[in-house]
Amino acid sequence: MKMEAFLTGSQEYGTPTPQSDIDMVVYSKDSKLIKLLREFSEQGGSIPDGAQQMSARFGKLNVLVCFTEAAYKAWEDGTLELSLKGTSTRDEAVAVFERVRAEYNVEQ
């Protein structure tokens, strides 16, 4: 199973607290990974046809799985931009990711 991954969220560009979750972005087209996420995620459920990404929570770990290169690149570019800026608020991060997703034509 081949995949790429990196951390995002407050652990990467914010001010994490002991209550902060850990956000990991993963890029994989592997059907085994997708099946495992559906089975073991606290949310469970299905992935809509045409979805470019999904989220699965495991306690404090939030795994954001991207099925397309564009979705992964949007997360990567947004995280890099926020990391270079320094500590960012949640509202600032939301604005950056909305803009970057629009540039890559990635639906939320």
- Model confidence over 68-90: pLDDT tens digits? 899 999 999 999 999 999 888 88
Domain-located, residue 108: no
Residue 30, in any domain of the structure = yes
pLDDT in tens, 36-80: 776 766 665 566 667 788 888 889 999 888 988 999 999 999 999
Q: Identify whether 84 is part of a domain.
A: yes
- Residue 67 sits in a domain whose CATH number is 3.30.460
The long-range contacts involving 89-92, CB below 8 angstroms and separated by at least 24 positions, are 89/14, 90/14
CA angle, residues 2, 56, 62, in degrees to nearest 5: 90
Q: Could you tell me if residue 14 is inside a domain?
A: yes
- Pair type for strands 4-8 and 53-58: unpaired
41 in a structural domain? yes
Predicted confidence band of residue 92 (pLDDT cuts 50, 70, 90)? very high
* pLDDT reported for residue 55: 83
User: Is residue 97 in a domain?
Assistant: yes
Total domains present in the chain: 1
Residue 12 domain flag? yes
- Which residues is 65 bridged to in the sheet? 26, 54
Q: What is the pTM of this model?
A: 0.84
Domain ranges, residue 47: 4-103
In a domain, 64, yes or no: yes
